[in-house]
Amino acid sequence: MNISPIGLNNNIKTVKFPVFKAFWKGSQSNISQKFQYGLEALDNQSIFVVTSNEESSNMMLELYSEKIPIPVMKKITLLVKKGELDNCDELAANFAIFKFKNDYYIISLADYSLKKLLVDRPKENFNKDNIIPQGEIRRLSEGVIIHTGEMVYPSSGGKHKFVFSIPSKSNSLNALSYLDVKNIDRFDEFNKRTISSLNSSVKKNNESDRGITFEDIGGLDDVIETLKKYVVRPINYPQVYENIRLNKGILLYGPPRCGKTLLGKALASEANAVYREYNANEFVSPEVGSSENNIREVFKQAVADAPSITFIDELDSVAKTRDGSANARFDDPLVNQLLGCMSDLEKCAAPAFIIAATNMKKLIDPALLATGRFGLHIEVPLPNLEGIKQIFKIHSKKQNISKDVSIDAIVRNMHENRFTGSDVAEAITDAFFNVLDRLGLNKKMDNKTFGYSDMAKIVITKADFIKAIQRIVKQK
């Protein structure tokens, strides 16, 4: 029998599932074909569950998740209905397959005991050695026939059965076309965990207590589409991009406070990647060699965390051309280190993306902006009228705004005054404070006479917005 027990390392970081779930398109494929498509769609961050009872398989997976040595980002489920399998159709099919270091493994999620199996099916010629107890993992090799979660045994005859055959790389695209993978269950806990795993060396992330997604960003639809294309999809569907050189260095440039950092954070949650944020100034150390070492550490961490998004703000502060001209600065050890790290990163397969941001693209050493380094340049401009409208909507969705306020007029006013995304957010906050002032609610809070009925009075009027806009314009 070509199925062998394994001793997997239990200490490898495991992430709980599921973020994705696959639905099977159409009913044209029989169960054996679907099984093959599921295998072909597997990558080293996904698990393929074959079950007749999804709830129970989820519980079992949760129970044994620590044993599964890969970060499970996607779950592909093949639901087996009664009568779909030959021979064993009254048994609960309940197992999962995952790929680890080029090998395929099966974990039994069975809730059916061996004893009961022998009693219920006395005529079957079971080989006990081939029965996988619940929660145990075995390596699969070519030709193994899997009938149910608790049994792996050779069988003769029958059209519809699960025969394990090593998936061919070239078929994975084809397999994906049979799978309609939808993001149905945002696993918020997972995102929170990812973001809260930032260590103390990482710049404080004010918004880290919630996962920022692309929906929190207004007016940057084209930028978001570009980032989905170059980062999110390649992380979420690695098998599609296996033979492609990815752009792992991306430069976001544009005026301050228009959403560059926000994009970095959203990218990480959209791709379920680890997010780390640095200001390039943090790399600089007066000790000889220390700055270069800091850069090496950041890149090392990015690869170790992969899939990961490393956001480096103010890249211009360390990678400036000497005189602000287009002269390359090859003699600078910091620039050289960055160049070296970027070319190493490009060669390695880890989905580790470095997103650098700057308000002064012109100041950056051109050697760093070449293809293969920070070779993809994306402008994050000042929002246009429609963009301001979207940002306004995002930031005001939880505010009580008086019905007679013309949002269009407010938004136009902001646009005429060249508001940034941050200005729009600030104007809404300020308008809210203006309401508290206007209604004397600050005093009430101070002398503890503020009551629930006062909450209902907090309605932002046109005058509150105008006052807020004027203050920001004056400060600009």
Token pair, residue 398, equals: 């939880």
Contact set for ligand ATP, span 261-280 (CB under 6 A): 261-262
Cα separation, 38 vs 49, in Å, equals 9
The kind and range of the H/E element at 436 are helix 421-438
Residue number with CB closer to ligand ATP (106 or 267): 267
Token pair, residue 8, equals: 């997997």
Cα separation, 197 vs 281, in Å, equals 22
Residue number with CB closer to ligand ATP (109 or 262): 262
Region from 34-42, 177-185, 409-417, 418-426 binding ligand ATP, contact rule CB under 6 A: 418-426
Task: Single out the residue of 103, 108, 75, 74 nearest to residue 93, CA to CA.
Answer: 108
Cα separation, 458 vs 152, in Å, equals 66
Cα separation, 280 vs 118, in Å, equals 65
Region from 56-64, 121-129, 368-376, 419-427 binding ligand ATP, contact rule CB under 6 A: 419-427
Using rule CB under 6 A, residue 394 touches ligand ATP: yes
Token pair, residue 371, equals: 């293809």
Binder of ligand ATP out of 260, 276, 329, 373 (CB under 6 A): 260
Binder of ligand ATP out of 49, 258, 334, 339 (CB under 6 A): 258
DSSP string over 301-341 = HHHHH-SEEEEEE-GGGTSB-TTSSS---TT-HHHHHHHHH
Q: What is the 3-state secondary structure (H, E, C) of 111-150?
A: CCCHHHHHHHCCCCCCCHHHCCCCCCEEEECCCCEECCCC
Residue number with CB closer to ligand ATP (93 or 378): 378
Smallest gap from Cβ 215 to ligand ATP, in A, equals 10
Work out the angle between the directed axes of helices 421-438 and 407-416 (0-180°, nearest 10).
120
CA-CA-CA-CA torsion for 15, 18, 19, 21, nearest 10 degrees? 150
Using rule CB under 6 A, residue 389 touches ligand ATP: no
| Residue owning tokens 């084209």 | 222
Binder of ligand ATP out of 411, 425, 436, 460 (CB under 6 A): 425
Query: Which string of x and - marks every residue 312-331 that binds ligand ATP (by CB under 6 A)?
Result: -x------------------
Give 380: exposed, middle or buried? Use CB within 10 Å, 0-12, 13-18, 19+: buried
Smallest gap from Cβ 249 to ligand ATP, in A, equals 17
Which residues on adjacent β-strands are paired with residue 97?
48, 106
Using rule CB under 6 A, residue 257 touches ligand ATP: yes
Region from 163-171, 344-352, 366-374, 421-429 binding ligand ATP, contact rule CB under 6 A: 421-429
Using rule CB under 6 A, residue 217 touches ligand ATP: yes
Cα separation, 81 vs 34, in Å, equals 13
Residue number with CB closer to ligand ATP (356 or 391): 391
Residue number with CB closer to ligand ATP (169 or 210): 210
Binder of ligand ATP out of 259, 305, 345, 389 (CB under 6 A): 259
Residue number with CB closer to ligand ATP (85 or 354): 354
CA distances from 81 to 91, 92, 160 (A): 11, 9, 12
Smallest gap from Cβ 220 to ligand ATP, in A, equals 5
Give 16: exposed, middle or buried? Use CB within 10 Å, 0-12, 13-18, 19+: middle
Contact set for ligand ATP, span 342-381 (CB under 6 A): 357, 359
Region from 14-22, 62-70, 257-265, 402-410 binding ligand ATP, contact rule CB under 6 A: 257-265
Residue number with CB closer to ligand ATP (74 or 260): 260
Residue number with CB closer to ligand ATP (139 or 361): 361
Region from 17-25, 56-64, 251-259, 325-333 binding ligand ATP, contact rule CB under 6 A: 251-259
Cα separation, 71 vs 152, in Å, equals 26
Smallest gap from Cβ 39 to ligand ATP, in A, equals 41
Smallest gap from Cβ 449 to ligand ATP, in A, equals 33
Using rule CB under 6 A, residue 213 touches ligand ATP: no
Q: Which residues bind ligand ATP (CB under 6 A)?
A: 217-220, 256-262, 313, 357, 359, 391, 394, 421-422, 425
